[in-house]
Amino acid sequence: MKDFVEKLQEALRNRHFILIAGNCRVYYEGRAASHLGYGERVVLIKQDGSILVHRPYGHEPVNWNPPGSRIEARRDEEDRIILTSLKSGEKLVVVFNDVKHFAVLNMLDDAEFEMYASEADMKQAVLLEPRLIEDGFTPVEDERKAFGSGRIDILGRDKNGNLVIVELKRNEASVEDVQQVLGYLSSLTRELGRRPRAIIVAPSISRRAAMLANSNNIEFKCLTPRLCMDVLKRRKGLDRFLE
């Protein structure tokens, strides 16, 4: 255990990711107080100074302290390892009398957690950057009512002045989606006396839907929710003001 505690102390100093599996008991004082008797558990100490104690079951840690905790390790007279974590009035103490597994990792993870865009996000991205549809596209109205067949995601104009119906889908466009656009088309043609262009915008289109779209002169434009998310992110922050 002597060797082990030295390695552990070094890993804590270096702010590395630490995993300890072994037999331990846990005391906690803070928002409440608790004691958990000896049992086999996994303790994770993350690089931001958060600490979690996991039992062999359940998805949540049985005890934890948030990032920025001051974590120290020492060895007592009975050769047990005592981990103490302090964070603004919260104290977590883990006492190991046996360690089965110990790993120290310097992990790099810069990726951002991304939620892929909803159709509403895709619409906002297109409204902010109409070029996503095609060069020269200008949105005119969003959620435009098409009498008797619902609302059109975006109604716009192309560079030649033609009206364009844009229908956005976050998943593969289906036959039903093409039929929906056909509904908008007939409604708008009736209302305006001429047939607008129509574009289905989705990450992909099924073969049957493509055939139906093709035979009805409905265009398909590939646009992924992910790209829309990138656009939104870029357009929300200061980056869009960088020359």
Partner 1 sequence: MIFSVKFPSADYFADLMKAVTAVVEEGTFVVDQEGMKLTAMDPAHISLVNFELTKAAAEEYSCEKQVELTININELHKLIRKAKKNEIITLEYDDEKKRLSVTLTNPAASTERRFTLNTLETVTGKTPVPNLSFEAKARVSAEAFRVAIEDAATVSDYAKLTIAPDAVIISSKGEMGSHSTKLAPGGTAVFEIEAQHEVSASFSLNYLEKIIKAGKTVAEESVIELSSNRPVKLSFPVPSGKLEYLIAPRIE
Q: Which residues bind partner 1 (CB under 8 A)?
A: 68, 124, 128, 233, 235-243
Which residues, listed in sequence order, are joined to residue 138 by a DSSP beta bridge?
Answer: 157
Q: How far is the CB of 243 from partner 1 (least distance, A)?
A: 5
Please report the DSSP string for 160-176 in residue order: TS-EEEEEE-SS-B-HH
Q: How far is the CB of 68 from partner 1 (least distance, A)?
A: 8
Question: Cβ closer to partner 1: 16 or 25?
Answer: 16
How far from each other are the two terminal CA atoms of the chain, in whole angstroms?
58
Q: How far is the CB of 236 from partner 1 (least distance, A)?
A: 6
> Cα separation of 45 and 18, whole Å?
5
Please report the DSSP string for 28-65 in residue order: EESSSEEEEEEEEEEEEE-TTS-EEEE-SSSSS-SEEE
Q: Strands 51-54 and 33-45, how do they pair?
A: antiparallel
Question: Cβ closer to partner 1: 148 or 237?
Answer: 237
Question: Cβ closer to partner 1: 72 or 191?
Answer: 72
Question: Cβ closer to partner 1: 32 or 238?
Answer: 238
Q: How far is the CB of 127 from partner 1 (least distance, A)?
A: 9
| Nearest in space to 21 (alpha carbons), one of 44, 45, 42 | 42
